[in-house]
Structure 1
């Protein structure tokens, strides 16, 4: 039996005995705290995009199944749709579960996952699976792409390092995170995976700008980027192939051109669910080019709505950071939302033929196993880090403190 608990309760006086709180009561109190502190609008926007994804994969699944079917083997029309429902359910459970973490727990988990995925990134060139000329996946019962889970880990680790400046302003934290990014970029280029390397670069750039990088260095970075892209074109085959395809030469150009034609085939209102024709010739209709399928079957108006949903999600997360006095939370949330928004808009620009093909999925909408779980992992950490009650914080009390005071005075 646990020892009696004595506390200075306002109602019962000093030394009053407080009985242990039942586990069920503790769970209910934790749920109340979570519901009070969670950003409900951000959660609603996430759920809306997931709902759009379910309908979009249902529309694209027959096209992808037909592309993979052979004379001997017929892939069921709704195989990808059925699997997508399972992955969405697992991803939603993962995201909600992570959103219950406090900031310290989210930081520790992000650092741990980032370290593990970085270690896996080192061994991918040796034991990874090769698909379409790239070696990016490890088979662990399902295809796992370490770089997908490394993205949120990278944002958390960089935020943690940059927040060290609060303790010691003399620490070269920007140099630390720059070296970390350079290491990851080099490993990704070996796969090759130029698209993810660019996305990691975007996350790094946003975070070092928030850390106070002088404008002179920003201009220098811009010049280095131009030089690096030029060198990559001449000495890195994957970059040259991507750029040449974007400029109108190669198979990737044909795919992007077909995606652009598909997205405009439905006009403003679309052909209707399962009535699209051009999608049947579109490779990766359920993943990389699902935005084009949406355009054909649901129209450009629906494409505009999706873009607005992504913009609203990014803006809501940034607004949530207004007045944030925790340096780690500020850097981490900015990095996570940059990762999510950057991936979404790169995919959309590729489908609109405004950006070279990158092989990136549309987060929360495209079909995917590990990619869906990785996006939900990212958003779960974002929800956890942005949890707060501004009114109670100004008063110096947490919601848990008030609940405990209420229990003691009952």
Structure 2
């Protein structure tokens, strides 16, 4: 008969797994598990429409093609998230710095060897799958910024090094082009810049610079011009956003029921960019509202946990990671309800995608690692400030 030791995973257990069990934020882990479960249901609902769109005269995809592939990616991604969350912060920081360098090289190679989809060259084809380097760059970029902002250097050195990094990333992304991801990288950098103790006039200056950047994008970046014109003035091609909004509201408050949606077959990317609209049609506006609340709960949970964190690196890294996560979710939902122009951005842990699922698992593993804490340590509030600002 199998007997479990009373000390197994008890508070006296000092093994790596035992420490992880007591230090991990169980509530955050549960919220992420719920989100992944909802995402799998959503992909199952959207898969028939996606399979129909990508079937051809020579190949007909099974209705649940994307569902089974997503299940495979989830099975591969969850162990990655748990493994990353078990590693010590010091090791993760070093790995993220190395990964940031590798990511810059990969972004530079995309225009040279990358594959083009829907007019954008953002993926590297590995044969068995396509990898989007920018997705993997997002989480490690945050930790690299947090490391820079907590170095014992002058204000000018830290500001210059961080600006150089985000500038390099933005330049490489706009070569693809990927304006949406560029915005997320710059907003993340600006937020950490402010959180690290920058003076208010510098933060205001960044805000003004951001507005100027959007204006320049409107005049010199054709895709931005078309999408902003369509959003603000109703000119050009509004097919995607109009269909997304119509599909989302077609189910009313409680939806038409699983598999009963029909308008989803008219969406351009029902299983990725516009999966939030599919949820609205089949499960109702109530389900959409619940998902929005779930994202908000994840962001709030992390920020509340950081109130008594005393590590500047952990504060900046965890804040940046959860901000990036929440911002991507907000942009995707905003596009689906027509309060933002079309961006081509997935809904975290809900949209179909191998690169997205793996990269998000790395990011959330980092978030879980930087929010881990020994429950027996006394902590006091700590405000990160730059010396000499």
Q: What pairs with 1:33-52 in structure 2 (closer than 5 Å)?
A: 33-52=19-38
2:141 paired residue among 154, 159, 162: 154
Distance 1:115 1:278 in 2: 44
Does the 8 A contact of 2:310 with 2:379 survive in 1?
no
Distance 1:105 1:378 in 2: 15
Distance 1:217 1:394 in 2: 31
Distance 1:105 1:38 in 2: 17
Task: Say if 2:363 is the partner of 1:378.
Answer: yes
CA offset at residue 90 of structure 1?
Answer: 0.9
Task: Say if 2:241 is the partner of 1:245.
Answer: no
Does the 8 A contact of 1:162 with 1:211 survive in 2?
yes
Does the 8 A contact of 1:310 with 1:344 survive in 2?
yes
Task: Say if 2:352 is the partner of 1:367.
Answer: yes
Does the 8 A contact of 1:114 with 1:149 survive in 2?
no
C-alpha change, 1:305 and 1:170, in structure 2 (3 Å) is closer
Task: Say if 2:111 is the partner of 1:125.
Answer: yes
Task: Say if 2:288 is the partner of 1:303.
Answer: yes
Give CA-to-partner distance per residue, 1:203-261, whole Å, 9 cap, x none: 1111001011211122222222222222221112222122123232333x210110011
Please give the secondary structure, in 2, of the residue aligned with 1:322: helix
Task: Say if 2:265 is the partner of 1:280.
Answer: yes
Does the 8 A contact of 1:115 with 1:153 survive in 2?
no
Does the 8 A contact of 1:202 with 1:342 survive in 2?
no
- Counterpart of 2:322 in structure 1 is 337
Query: Structure 2 length as normaliser, TM-score?
Result: 0.91
Please give the secondary structure, in 1, of the residue aligned with 2:307: coil
Query: Structure 1 length as normaliser, TM-score?
Result: 0.86
- Counterpart of 1:214 in structure 2 is 199
Give CA-to-partner distance per residue, 1:287-335, whole Å, 9 cap, x none: 0000000000000001111001000001111111112111111111111
Distance 1:296 1:334 in 2: 33
CA offset at residue 28 of structure 1?
Answer: 7.5
C-alpha change, 1:350 and 1:306, in structure 2 (3 Å) is same
- Counterpart of 2:5 in structure 1 is none
- Counterpart of 1:143 in structure 2 is 130
Deviating 4+ runs (over 3 angstroms): 168-171
Distance 2:177 2:35 in 1: 30
Distance 1:70 1:169 in 2: 59
2:338 paired residue among 347, 353, 358: 353
- Counterpart of 1:224 in structure 2 is 209
Task: Say if 2:247 is the partner of 1:262.
Answer: yes
Distance 2:202 2:377 in 1: 40
Of stretches 117-126 and 234-243 in structure 1, the one that deviates more from structure 2 is 234-243
Any gaps of 5 or more consecutive residues in structure 2?
A: 1-11, 381-389
